[in-house]
Structure 1
Amino acid sequence: MKMGFLFCPSLILFFSLWVSLISPTHSFNCSSLKLPGGKKQYSNCTELPTLNSTLHFTYNATNSSLSIAFSAAPPNANGWVAWAINPTATGMAGSQALLAFKNNGSMVVKTYNISSYSSIVDGKLSFEVWDLEAEAGDDGKMVIYGSLKVPASAEKLNQVWQVGPGVSNGHPMKHEFAKANLAALGELKLVENVSSGASSPAPAPQVANNESGDGSKLMEINAGLWISGLVSLLALM
């Protein structure tokens, strides 16, 4: 009986199914949002709701800094991509932007203080930024890397992102005003337990390799189902 129990095909199949169920399932991970080259790692990532763009980021509360990697595809190979923080409002006007494009075949990042929709001038931002760089991937996307200083104890920021057709005489050309372009803004939560406002279109950041919360609950439920099923199976034997 014991040997038959140990090698029962039904039990082996049931055990295999249980292993697949109880193994940690990282529903909130960044495996599908990998960056070109993978040279930098970030604690969080989110798929932004418009313009086929993503944001990877790490928030360091001890020194009030935010490291980011913004990825998006410009309308063409000579286009530009931009990611910005707006310290005073929710739209583009007043935003402090990081803008990347190709210059003589090499990727560059410039900073733009966008005081109004009609004034887009490169220059120093209202907060400190460092480690700026950009790269172009084989998938047509451009990635902006950088770190910036955020207000002490900040829990959320107003973010804006955009893509444009090109750069003329060092100035970015106007982007389209399609629905996706106009909707490219939202809240970026730095602290996960901040309540989101009803007007915020951006999803909450997804935590990479999250092994707590929903994942732990799922493991507990699966374990309970396995025990119940095993008891039923043994009763039939």
Structure 2
Amino acid sequence: MVLLISPVCSLTCTSQKLTGNKLYSNCTDLPQLDAYLHWTYNASNSSLSVAFIAAPAGKNGWVAWAINPTAEGMAGSQALVALKSGGSVVLKTFNISSYSSIVESKLSFEVWDTRAEEKDGKITIFATVKVPEKAEKVNQVWQVGPSVTNGKPDKHEFKPPNLASKGSLKLVETSAGSTTNGTSSNSNSTGSGDNKSGASRIGENFGLGLGLVMFLLSIFRF
């Protein structure tokens, strides 16, 4: 029974362990690029603390998570980019004014507690950013790239998953049965497609696995 159930319970953000057992109020399996976001929204000081996890597209590549204050998509986004430098991972900030212009600079909003680390082929970006007071959502963008040249990320691929790696992150949920301060343990809306929380996926997968076990037992019953 264990062998039958285990394969359908795939890794989700709810099963990930962060360095120092750091905990966030929410986590989301992002719908593109095999990426994950752990996050906590603090309405008292309008801050958003995040841990973004993804694997670079190449051995010496990069990963990025960004907020776009003015629109959806990459152009205009304020990005946190973790990239390889001298054998280690460093975190830099970039103003993505257009798809062809990537300028290392300070972000248009406050950011603190920034760092990046690499483990088991994945890179995690840690940061806390200031969001507009009483904001209900932010436009987020995430991306992975294959390589780095002179300390700057090279262009990423323009395949459908790369182009679709964007969406809204709801900080405040006002629907019935949900929280209003962005601190529920389930994920909120993150982008294109039907994106479910890791906990929901595990529950559904477990149900499918158990149903399969009962079906097989009924066939081989003596």
1:42 aligns with 2:12: no
1:9-35 Cα offsets, whole Å, 9 max, x none, are xxxxxxxxxxxxxxxxxxxx9532x14
Percent identity of paired positions between Structure 1 and Structure 2: 63
Compared CA separation, residues 119 and 91, structure 1 to 2 (3 A): same
Partner of 1:189: 170
How far apart, CA to CA, are the structure 2 residues paired with 1:205 and 1:154? 23
TM-score, structure 1 length as denominator? 0.69
Q: Is the 8 A contact 1:44 1:206 kept in 2?
A: no
Alignment match, 2:134: 153
After TM superposition, the score normalised by the length of structure 2 is: 0.74
1:152-176: CA deviations, max 9, x gaps?
0011010000000111011110000
Is the CA contact (8 Å cut-off) linking 1:43 and 1:207 kept in structure 2?
no
Return the alpha-carbon distance in structure 2 between the equivalents of residues 84 and 202 of structure 1: 19
Paired amino acid for 1:184: S
Superposed structure 1 runs of 4+ greater than 6 Å apart: none
Is residue 201 from structure 1 mapped to residue 192 from structure 2 by the alignment? yes
Q: Please give the alpha-carbon distance, in whole angstroms, between the structure 1 residues aligned to 2:34 and 2:134.
A: 30
Higher helix share: 1
Query: Partner of 2:47 in structure 1?
Result: 65
CA distance in 1, matches of 2:108, 2:141: 16
Q: 1:94 aligns with which of 76, 80, 86?
A: 76
2:159 corresponds to 1:168: no
Alpha-carbon distance between aligned partners in 1 of 2:194 and 2:116, rounded to the nearest angstrom: 25
Structure 2: 5+ residue stretches without partners: 1-11, 177-188, 200-222
Q: Are the equivalent residues in 2 in contact too, given 1:100–1:110 (CA < 8 A)? A: yes
RMSD over equivalenced CA pairs, Å: 2.4
1:120-170 Cα shifts (integer Å, max 9, x gaps):
0110110000111011111x1110000000000011010000000111011
Q: Which structure has the bigger radius of gyration?
A: 1
